[in-house]
Amino acid sequence: MKTASDRLRIVLAASESVPFSKTGGLADVVGALAKTLDQHGHEVVMILPDYHFLRQASVAHLPPIAESGLRFSISMNGRVMMGYVNWTILPGTNVRVLLVRQPEYFDRKHLYQEHGHGYVDNCERFCFFSRAVLEICRQMVLRPDVIHCNDWQTGLIPGLLGTQYAQRSGFEKTASVMTLHNMAYQGRFWHLDMPLTNMDWRYFNYHYMESWGDLNLLKTGIAFADQITTVSPTYAREICLPEGGFGLEALLKHRHEDLVGILNGIDDSVWNPETDHLIPARYSIKSLEHGKGICRSTLQRRLGLPERQDVPLFGMVSRMTDQKGLDLIMASADRLLLQDIQVVFLGTGDPTTENALRLLAQKYPQKVAVEIGFDDGLAHQIEAGADSFWMPSRFEPCGLNQMYSLRYGTVPIVRRVGGLADSVNNLDHPDSIDHATGFVFSDYTPDAFAETVERAITCWHNPQLWKQLVANGMARDWSWGRSAAEYENVYRKALQRMSGRFAEGRV
């Protein structure tokens, strides 16, 4: 248990978190980190938008949610918008969850976009949310030591905290941490949205908030935060280079002393083949062959593939976009499917890619199965039933599925980028089996991907070698304890940096 001096008051601000809302890995990370920080003895409050429509759709899976009675108003460029706060507890923890209720902004079918296009008022929606986070902290007298922000949707918070809130009661000793989950999404909007931020126009310059003539909310967070983290050590290096920084590499390089890459963990209360209630047979390394055999047959039967145990079965659960390497897969598919293999796909994304995968399944009905959509149960079943998992990403800040795969004895095939490079050890030769956990390639070409899959097929036909590869991966610890301890160090560095800047008036 933490002593009083060690215990931190942490506000985690994010646009999504399980079990309340989710579009991707951000939601998993925020929820799992909050849970682990609570287990480490810290006082944690999560602040999220209240997507009432989505919450109602899954109410059976959520804890009771009550009104707090707190109301506040925020002037959004002259238009007064009222906000309300509902609250609950993150299941299995002491973490308070405060849900920002604003029907005009958040009662929508989706979080950020519809029909492939972002909502036109996304800047207004999330400027309101960021400003609401600070107002809630002030009015509820939370007095946080650290406000931990996540991605562009909360990028305004460090800016406000470092300027107009710096001297306000309750924030005198509050530091900010900004986590970058994916640099491809920056929250860039036209410059005339600047009044929505309530920041002085003098900060609209290339040092702080302006990027190529636009307002950039992610840049705002990077420029003002006391500490910056991203989701793997390799990605922390990549984003300081032009190919990874997406235009912000100069600022990130300038702030490299405050930038730390922390590899995400996984929630092993959810992703654990020994306890997973979503798979047809639970198993450990000792019962791997029997359990995975049942999971494989069930998966094949569900997706309409022949129930065969004598061929390697590859799986992929992903957004169906070129970023995830689908262009490599499509370009090498005919070459790979000449071999006796099976492949299953689950996900949604670019309509052209979705259609191409459907056509591939029609061309190879005995070898390829495609499920368009999101199905959490099927995602677990693919991890448990497949022999190997494909993640040939163009870029991948961290990735979680490769860690799920290692946990489930499903050997990952990945490209050497971001968190994939940090979490998968390449089997490049049988002599490297002692430390290998998967197959890794570097060049972003169809040939490099196909050759790596062919190496995996050869290895699969060597049962002793494959079994050792699987055992190595299953033995790794991907729980959040290690990652949370690194975040605790970052929080303390942020507090030290904030203390030094406080005497100077922050900015």
Quick one: tokens of 455?
A: 């190496």
Report which secondary-structure segment, H or E, holds 343: strand 342-347
Q: What is the pLDDT of residue 55?
A: 72
Cα–Cα–Cα angle for 167, 171, 175, rounded to 5 degrees: 110
Give the number of other CB atoms < 10 A from CB of residue 443: 12
**Residue 504 pLDDT > 60:** no
- The arithmetic mean of pLDDT across residues 240-248, rounded, is 96
Produce one character per residue of 324-346: b if its CB has 16 or more CB atoms within 10 Å, e if not: bbbbbbbebbeebbeeebbbbbb
Residue 284 half-sphere exposure toward CB, CA atoms < 13 A? 4
**Residue 507 pLDDT > 80:** no
DSSP 322-391: GGGTHHHHHHHHHHHTTSS-EEEEEE-B-HHHHHHHHHHHHHSTTTEEEEES--HHHHHHHHHH-SEEEE
Q: What percent of the chain has pLDDT over 90?
A: 87
CB 505 within 8 A of CB 166: yes
Domains and CATH numbers, the chain: 9-265+481-500 (3.40.50.2000), 288-477 (3.40.50.2000)
> Could you tell me whether strands 259-261 and 227-230 are parallel, antiparallel, or unpaired per DSSP bridges?
parallel
- Round to the nearest angstrom and report the end-to-end CA distance of the chain: 36
**Residue 39 pLDDT > 90:** yes
**pLDDT classification of 60: cutoffs 50, 70, 90:** low
Report which secondary-structure segment, H or E, holds 24: none
Dist CA 257 CA 280 (whole Å): 48
CB 316 within 8 A of CB 343: yes
Quick one: tokens of 408?
A: 């489930």
Question: What's the mean per-residue pLDDT of the chain?
Answer: 94
Question: Closest Cα partner for 68 from 131, 132, 15?
Answer: 132
Q: Report the amino acid identity of residue 80.
A: V
Cα–Cα–Cα angle for 419, 299, 271, rounded to 5 degrees: 40
**Residue 503 pLDDT > 70:** no
**pLDDT classification of 228: cutoffs 50, 70, 90:** very high
* Residues 339-395: tens digit of each pLDDT: 999 999 999 888 999 999 999 999 999 999 999 998 989 999 999 999 999 999 999
